[in-house]
Each structure stands twice: as C-alpha cells, then as structure tokens.
Amino acid sequence: MIERDPLQRVLYIDLSKRRFWVKYRPDLFEKYIGGAGVASALLHEECPKGTDPLGPDNPIIFAVGPLVGLFPMASKTVAMFKSPHTGNLGESHAGGRSAVSIRMAGYGAIVIKGTSNIPIYLSIFNDKVQFHDARAIWGMRSHVVGRVIREREKGTGIRSIMRIGTAGEKKVSYACVVTETYRHFGRLGLGAVFGSKKLKAIIIGGKRSLPVTDKKRYKEAYDEVFKRILETPSLKKYHDLGTSLNVLPLNKKKALPTRNLEQACFEHAEKISGEHLAQHFLGRRLACAHCPIACIHLAALRTPYEDEPYFYKTTFISYDYELIYALGSMLGIGDPEGMLHLLDTVEYIGVDALSAGVTLAWTTEAYERGLISEKETLGLKPSWGDYKTYQAMLERIVTQPNDFYKALAKGAEYAAEIYGGKDFALTFGKNEMPGYHTGYGGHLTFLTGARHSHLDSAGYSYDQKLRPEELTPENLAQKLFNEECYRQIISSLVICFFARSVYDYPTIARLLSIAGFEFSEEDLKLLGKRILRQKYNFKYREGFSLDNLRIPKRILETISPHGQLKEDFFRKAIAVYKSLLTSD
Ligand code: SF4
C-alpha cells in the first residue's frame, strides 16, 4: 500500500459531543481493501451486541475503495449500520457523487455515532468538519433540503449532499437517504437511523490528489478498462433504456410480480415499459461521477397549472426497473403518468420504493380480504391502480395518525403480524421483495443474501441461464454462494455491479497493484468468503437464523417460469448454503 494514502484515514464523528477525530487505519484497508469489507469490520468494532438501531450507539458507517476516483465505474459508497427494518445487518449502496466526494475529501471511511439534541447537518470539506443547526430545514422534503444546503455551502471541487426527507425524520423503518436527488441509499432504513440521530444531511467534498504507484501503467490500464466498458453490449443497453429494459422480457416470461404477486404477468406492462417511457417521457440521462454509461433515466412529467392553459410545471422523476415493478405492476398501476406521480411522492418523502410498494400491495390485498377496513385506513379505500389513494397512504405512513399507519411504517411483515395475511406478505428476512418471480434462484437470493436484496447473488439471472437439469438445490446454492463471495470484492472496491463483466479477478488484482495493494486472485477469492462470513456473523449475533426463515406462501402459489415452486427445494438449498457459509 502507498505510504499514508488518504484512503487509510477514517473520520470518526460523535454527534452527541460534537467532536471529530481522524485515525490512520492501514490495518483495515490492507486486510479488507475498502467498501463492504472495511465497513463490515468497522460495524463489528463500533456496534455493540443488541444495540437499539434507533439509539445513539448504532453507528452509521460509510466506506469507499482504492479504485474510486482512479478507474471508471468505481462510483459507489457502501453504508453499513444495524437495520431498524430487519434488526440485523443494514447495508446499502449509492452512487451519484458520494464516493468520489468522500475520497477527494481525504477519507476511506466515516463513522458517525451519538445523537444530536437538535436537528443538525454536517459539512465535511477536507479536514474541516462543522456541525450546523438544521432546525430551519427539519420538516423539509428531500429535494428542497438539497437546494437549500447547496446555496448555503458554497465551495469548489466535487461535492455530494446526502439527506433525508420527512419519512426519515419520523423514523419510518424503510426510510432512505437521498443523494444528488436521483440516487439513494435505498434499502434497510438508513434514513430512519439518520432521523434518530437528528441528522438531516451531510455535505462532503474536497480536493485531494490520489496516488498511484506508476503513472505509465496507470494510464495504460485506465485506457484499457475504459475501452472495455464502452465495448460491452449490455452496458450500451443500460445507457439506452436503463434497467427498465427488463419490464417486457420479464412480463413475457410471466416473471413480473403483479398485484401483490397474485399474477406474474401484467396486462398493461407495455405502457410502463422502458420503451414506452423513453418514447413519451424521457427528459434526460445522468451518470454517477466517473461513469461513462449514464444509466440513470429521468422522465419529464408536465403538470398543467390550473386556469393557465399554456403553463406547465415540469418535474424530473428518475425511474428504473425496480421502481416500475414496485410502484407499477405490483400495485396494478398501468397509467404511466400515475406511476410517475407515485414515484415522485416516494422520492420527496424519502422512502425505499421497494418496501413502500410491497407494503402498499399487502395493504390492498388485506383490505380486499376484509382483514382491515376503512376504520384502520381512516377512510381510504386502496384498490389496484388507484395511485392517488396510494399517494395519500404514503403521506399517512409518514405522519402515522393511528396504530395502523404506525404498523405500515414498519413494513409489510410487521403489519401482517398484527392484522394477519402473512401468507401474502412478500418479505424475505423481513425485507420486502424485489421484482423477480423468475424461479428458485431469484427467491433463494432474497432469502439467503446478506442484505436480502436481488443484488446479493442475482439468482434471477441463474433462473434464466441455467438448463433445467442444472437447477438442483445443491448446484444453485453453490452458484449463489460463489457469486455472493465475488460480489463482496466488487463492493469492497465499490465498483458498480453493472461493470462486473469488465472487472474480473485478474483485472482487479492488476488495478489494485497500480493503486498500491498487492492481492493475488487466490487472496481475493478467500477474502470474498471472509467478508461474507463477517456479515453473516453480525446477522447471527443479532438474532437472524437461516433455520427459521419464513417462505411466503404466495411464491409457492403463483406459477413461475419454472412451474410451481416447492418449499422442500428451498429448504434443501438453504441448508446447503448454510453449510457453505460455515465450512472451510
Ligand atoms: S452504470 Fe449507472 S448506476 Fe452504475 S455507475 Fe454508471 S450511472 Fe451509476
């Protein structure tokens, strides 16, 4: 490792005492590289067993990696914390300018603990950390907060603003943190942890230079990686349509969860597809810092002013496959304008779109079945496709005017515990389901992935590429385990998962050496396993177990592209996955 690389610096911030200090931690970065590896090690150090996720001892940890700022698509920041949504590992990744800003400010990781007695926001510019009174912006919606802070904190260099909306302030357990308006630390409730600490926002930036071991080798490697990225056909597709290109193929396969997965095929899929949105609404494409792909798609939604026929308010709303599934097909919304309005509500109150959509889908079915009534909903009548009622419900999930909305603010599993309907509460490890009813692989990823996210081991892709005879519990569990171990390395370097075909093990080892780290391919493979086990140790320490995972009955009822799924297959595969986690 390069002597005194700023990456070794960990910034510690105590909100209760308004103090900060920096420690050099080469021990962490030499062992775990950065990102998910370093963050999970810090989580073990900083989060005492049994910590209240909404208490002062729960740390917020941000970590970046050695390739950030040096190589394209090393653009993500990992956030780690104890999740208020699941009660165990909280891990969320976001791009935007966050990673490059943290690296340029001169840090490899940031640990925030304590609780402020009044709402505050933090500004971090190089070595200067300031605590600002945020009472005037507490209660503001996420996009307004970004604007206000940008105005107040003039400065140069790359800056990132991470902030919460009203849902985070009210500790909705699936509140998110918004960064650069269109990127999110979406899953597992980081926004609620910010809110519990009365931390409204963080602005960070700096102007450090980043060291490399050999400038000539660096330039050659950079050009090669950049060229490979531009020549990868799947990445070109992400530029054209974004992940929303998946809507129509998944619908055709009958794998698109629709109306709380009562069906897996949506009759209005075409109208909410990437193709339709690009043709009729696409206003701009954006990229995370240091990414040539620009997969972020923004719809321009024009809303006419009353009594002013030729005047429109234009709102830019980001969309991708997961949002379209959760707030479109899953809620039976086939009107693209209605869906975009709902996406906008989710963005400005600041909640995880997947958890919000799946929780509203459970609510609709529970209402249809008479488990809840207008007494609980306070007069609202949720029904498939009615986006205006869903918008009103989301506002109430934030304000929590009665016990029912307080329950919805803790997600579908919690609400189903109280009101019934667990068979159709689509949560895995208490986290709401991503948009893939592709077969065993997809659901096994949601069950066994350390974050219960489709991104953990991408089982949905194995459902689509393995031959039927390869789909055995043993084979699938082994493939998911290997994939999840490899993804620990990618997320320790904090490379966007879309670039994983470019960043294979030999390329990673070579680039790390240019950045001053020596890891062989074999070292990287072993490290991936070690990081995954480290995360699982934390989960088990906080009460999670693979032995008593709930498998929602609904996924066994609705026919998948691989036919009717059997619980027995899932249990066998989970047992194999568990043995891989614990064996050498
Ligand atoms: S491909 Fe998309 S998500 Fe990934 S770094 Fe580029 S813009 Fe960000």
Give bridge partners of residue 89 from the DSSP assignment: 82
CA of 282 to the centre of ligand 1 (A): 17
Please calculate the CA angle 199-203-207 and round it to the nearest 5 degrees.
150
Structural tokens at position 375? 């007494």
Cβ atoms within 10 Å of 523's Cβ, excluding its own: 15
Q: Is the CB of 75 under 6 A from ligand 1?
A: yes
Q: Is the CB of 32 under 6 A from ligand 1?
A: no
d(CA 471, CA 444): 12
Residue 3 pLDDT grade (very low, low, confident, very high; cuts 50, 70, 90): low
Could you tell me where the beta strands, DSSP code E, fall in 168-236? 177-179, 183-185, 199-206
CA of 160 to the centre of ligand 1 (A): 16
Instruction: Tell me the best of 64, 75, 93, 245 to mutate to test the pocket of ligand 1, counting ligand atoms within 8 Å of each CB and taking the most.
Output: 75
Q: Name the architecture of domain 431-582.
A: Orthogonal Bundle (1.10)
d(CA 523, CA 116): 42
Q: Is the CB of 60 under 6 A from ligand 1?
A: no
Q: Is the CB of 349 under 6 A from ligand 1?
A: no
Q: pTM for the full model? A: 0.96
Burial class (CB in 10 A: 0-12, 13-18, 19+), 74: buried
- What type of residue sits at position 250? L
Please calculate the CA angle 414-418-421 and round it to the nearest 5 degrees.
85
Query: Please, what's the largest Cα pairwise distance for the chain?
Result: 71
Q: What is the pLDDT of residue 308?
A: 83
CA of 85 to the centre of ligand 1 (A): 26
Residues of the chain with CATH 3.60.9.10: 6-206
Residue 2 has pLDDT above 60, yes or no: no
Question: Reduced to 3 states, what is the DSSP secondary structure of residue 350?
Answer: coil
Encode pLDDT of 222-243 as tens digits.
Answer: 999 999 999 998 888 899 999 9
CA of 78 to the centre of ligand 1 (A): 14
Residue 21 pLDDT grade (very low, low, confident, very high; cuts 50, 70, 90): very high
Residue 1 has pLDDT above 70, yes or no: no
| Run of H or E including 11 | strand 9-14
Q: Is the CB of 294 under 6 A from ligand 1?
A: yes
Cβ atoms within 10 Å of 281's Cβ, excluding its own: 18
Encode pLDDT of 516-562 as tens digits.
Answer: 899 999 999 999 999 999 999 999 999 999 999 999 999 999 999 99
Question: Reduced to 3 states, what is the DSSP secondary structure of residue 409?
Answer: coil
Yes or no: is domain 232-415 CATH 1.10.569.10? Answer: yes
Encode pLDDT of 479-528 as tens digits.
Answer: 999 999 999 999 999 999 999 999 999 999 999 999 989 999 999 999 99
In sequence order, what DSSP letters do the residues of 415-462 get, joined into one string?
A: HHHHHS-GGG--EETTEEP-S--SSHHHHHHHHHSTT--TTTT-HHHH
88 alpha-carbon distance from chain centroid: 16
Per the CB < 8 A criterion, the answer to whether 449 and 458 are in contact is no
Closest Cα to atom 4 of ligand 1: 496
d(CA 219, CA 228): 14
Reading phi first (left if > 0) and then psi (alpha if -120 to 50, else beta), residue 92 is in beta
- The CATH fold of domain 6-206: Aldehyde Ferredoxin Oxidoreductase;  A, domain 1 (3.60.9)
Structural tokens at position 211? 């060291």
Closest Cα to atom 2 of ligand 1: 295
Q: What is the pLDDT of residue 4?
A: 56
CA of 491 to the centre of ligand 1 (A): 14
Q: Give the mean pLDDT of 257-285.
A: 98
Q: What percent of the chain has pLDDT over 90?
A: 90
Task: Identify the CA nearest to 338 among candidates 384, 293, 306, 385.
Answer: 385
Residues of the chain with CATH 1.10.569.10: 232-415
Task: Identify the CA nearest to 517 among candidates 488, 493, 500.
Answer: 493
- Which residues, at least 6 apart from 354, have a Cβ–Cβ distance to it below 8 Å? 186, 187, 322, 326, 432, 433, 434, 435
CA of 77 to the centre of ligand 1 (A): 12
d(CA 77, CA 100): 9
Q: Is the CB of 210 under 6 A from ligand 1?
A: no
Burial class (CB in 10 A: 0-12, 13-18, 19+), 61: buried
d(CA 310, CA 142): 29
Query: CA torsion, points 85, 163, 24, 215, in degrees to nearest 10?
Result: 120
d(CA 151, CA 275): 37
Q: What percent of the chain has pLDDT over 70?
A: 99
Residue 5 has pLDDT above 90, yes or no: no
CA of 569 to the centre of ligand 1 (A): 35
